[in-house]
Structure 1
């Protein structure tokens, strides 16, 4: 009987540990999304994806660039503890001929070029 109780306690402990790790991963992912910059552009093709990815891969502070042809969007994930400049990002997009129609950042939502 004691053996069954110990096993039950061990299983419960493992379940709690796994649950806390999963919760931390979800929270970390949600926190990371709050720092992302998401831009919507008018049109996007495979060539646009290559051009956008190549341009942002060279920008210091950007950890990841994701483009979606279906959603016509670009998502920039900054490196830890980095805040991307909305104006700077907008200007980079303009420099490659892809003016955003909407940009959502931690600093706010923009439908025209940000002041900062």
Structure 2
């Protein structure tokens, strides 16, 4: 085997190793989804979406809020590296008259107001 073929194979092997070591793992890539809070509410309309979006706008640590009228759900996505307080998010929803019926968080699933 020529030196060129061996060198090319060695370089290709090292590149493959580097990609596998430094590429984000599926767990790292899914991290934002693992830190979000998903709530189900009793009713949801266009007015509710506006009210919820406005209430979470500018809240420190909240990157995005997504509402689904069809699923009657609210998804709160935190800023990277932030873990939101389930109790705090629940209370924000209560402050606009939208008490969640179910809340799924990294800390667990709640059907009543979390203690922390």
User: 1:28-107 residue pairs with structure 2 within 5 A?
Assistant: 28-107=28-107
Q: How far apart, CA to CA, are the structure 2 residues paired with 1:67 and 1:109?
A: 19
Structure 2 CA distance for aligned equivalents of residues 19 and 44 of structure 1: 44
Structure 1: gaps (5+ residues): 1-13
* Structure 2 equivalent of residue 7 of structure 1: none
Contiguous gaps of at least 5 residues in structure 2: 1-14
Q: For each residue in 1:28-82, what CA deviation from the matched residue of structure 2 results, as whole angstroms up to 9, or x when unmatched?
A: 4411111000000001000100100111112100011100111100001101111
Aligned-partner Cα distance in 2 for 1:21–1:46: 44
Aligned length: 115
Structure-2 separation of matches of 1:21 and 1:101: 41
Distance 2:68 2:16 in 1: 37
Q: Over the residues paired in the alignment, what is the CA RMSD in angstroms?
A: 2.3
In the superposition, the TM-score normalised over structure 1's length comes to 0.78
